[in-house]
Amino acid sequence: MDVLVAEHVAKRFGALTALRDVNLRLEKGEVLGLIGDNGAGKSTLIKVICGFHQPDSGRLVVNGQEVTLRSVDHARSLGIDTVYQGLALINELSVYHNMFLNRELRVGPLLNNRAMRRLARAHLEDMGVNIPNVNSEVAKLSGGQRQAVAVARAVYSDAKILLLDEPLAAMGAKEGTLILDLIRDLKARGEVSVIIIAHNYAQVLDVCDRVNLLQHGTITFDKPTADVSLDELTELVVAEYRARRTRGNGGG
């Protein structure tokens, strides 16, 4: 069953056409890799799906129902959550406060720190995320741990469709493995469907079920990762790069 379908989605910013005609679908429990060159429209597409941008035309179907996402909060209420590159973590706050950011548990007007601490610890453990101390400031965590906290937070808030914007950017091999394991764990549970924007095609092939290539605001390639090789993926993107260079030289 498809949890998310985008049909003929288009989005323009003034003279710039970011999304021309996007058709995308996401199955339940699936991990979809979204690749494409810089400026292909990946971030715009993610922002349309998470309710940040409203598309100029086309339709979105979430869990079989056509929806017009009014805001990020609206999308979140439908179970669509995004982990941005910036992660939306507050360095100055503890791990558990970040886990419950804007969904704090309270006793009367006061924060219920004990309960939040306990639940955060349990949830991170449950997801296999190893954070030595939920009391420590997020600033003290490594890049991978921060990413893991952000993902765990989204999952904890009952996200059913998780959008990960370059979760592996600027991450060492060990840290990257941590995140890939986390995504694999999610996949094994089958409750959460994930769209990952990524630049590292080897990792995309490693963890994703299917891969979509976005070029010039439209999806030009859609195959299960089982039927696709790293060379093929690389060749696709390089071909585009060459074509553009030739065009650029010719037109220059």
Partner 1 sequence: MTGTLPRQQETPAQRDRRLLTLLRTGGTVLVRWREASVLIVAIAMAIYFRAANDVFLTHDNLRNIAQATAPAAIVAVGIVMLLVSGEIDLSVGVVAALAPFLVHYAIDNYGIPVIPAFLIAFAISALIGFCNGFIVTKFKVPSLVATLGSYYLLLGILLTTSHAYPAQIPEAAQGRIQSIFGAADWSSLIWCLGVVAFYHIVLTRTRWGLHTISVGGNLIGATEAGIRVNRIKIGNFMMASMLGALAGILEAFRINSIDPNIGGGTALVFTAISAAVIGGTALAGGSGTVIGALLGALILAELQNGFNLIGISANPFNIILGSAILLSMIANQYLSRLRRTGGG
Residue 195's SS3 state is strand
Select the span of 6-14, 61-69, 95-103, 185-193 touching partner 1 (CB under 8 A): 95-103
Rounded to whole angstroms, how far apart are CA atoms 179 and 206? 12
The H or E element spanning position 106 is strand 106-107
In this complex, which beta carbon is closest to partner 1, that of residue 139 or of residue 202? 139
Helices 143-156 + 113-126 axis angle, to 10: 100
In this complex, which beta carbon is closest to partner 1, that of residue 140 or of residue 189? 140
- Here the contacts of 237-244 (C-beta below 8 Å, separation 24 or greater) are 237/35, 237/36, 237/37, 237/201, 237/213, 240/37, 240/215, 241/37
Select the span of 12-20, 21-29, 82-90, 173-181 touching partner 1 (CB under 8 A): 82-90
Residue 129's SS3 state is coil
47 binding partner 1? (CB under 8 A): no
Query: Could you give the C-alpha distances from 72 to 39, 46, 51, 101, in angstroms and in order?
Result: 22, 11, 5, 15
Cβ at position 241, least distance to partner 1 in Å: 31
169 binding partner 1? (CB under 8 A): no
101 binding partner 1? (CB under 8 A): yes
* Tokens, residue 252: 């220059």
Cβ at position 90, least distance to partner 1 in Å: 5
Q: Considering only CA atoms, which of 127, 120, 205 is closest in space to residue 162? A: 127
Select the span of 1-9, 30-38, 61-69, 107-115 touching partner 1 (CB under 8 A): 107-115
90 binding partner 1? (CB under 8 A): yes
Select the span of 104-112, 176-184, 207-215, 226-234 touching partner 1 (CB under 8 A): 104-112
Cβ at position 190, least distance to partner 1 in Å: 27
Figure out which of the listed residues 4, 34, 89, 204 binds partner 1, where binding follows CB under 8 A: 89
Cβ at position 158, least distance to partner 1 in Å: 14
Rounded to whole angstroms, how far apart are CA atoms 236 and 215? 10
Rounded to whole angstroms, how far apart are CA atoms 145 and 102? 20
Rounded to whole angstroms, how far apart are CA atoms 129 and 121? 9
Q: Considering only CA atoms, which of 240, 239, 204, 198 is closest in space to residue 225? A: 204
In this complex, which beta carbon is closest to partner 1, that of residue 110 or of residue 173? 110
102 binding partner 1? (CB under 8 A): yes
Contact 8, 58 (CB under 8 A): yes
Select the span of 20-28, 31-39, 76-84, 184-192 touching partner 1 (CB under 8 A): 76-84
Size of the site for partner 1 (CB under 8 A): 25
Residues 115-144 that bind partner 1 (CB under 8 A): 137, 139-140
**Residue ranges binding partner 1 (CB under 8 A):** 72-73, 76, 82, 84, 86-93, 97, 101-102, 104, 106, 109-111, 113, 137, 139-140
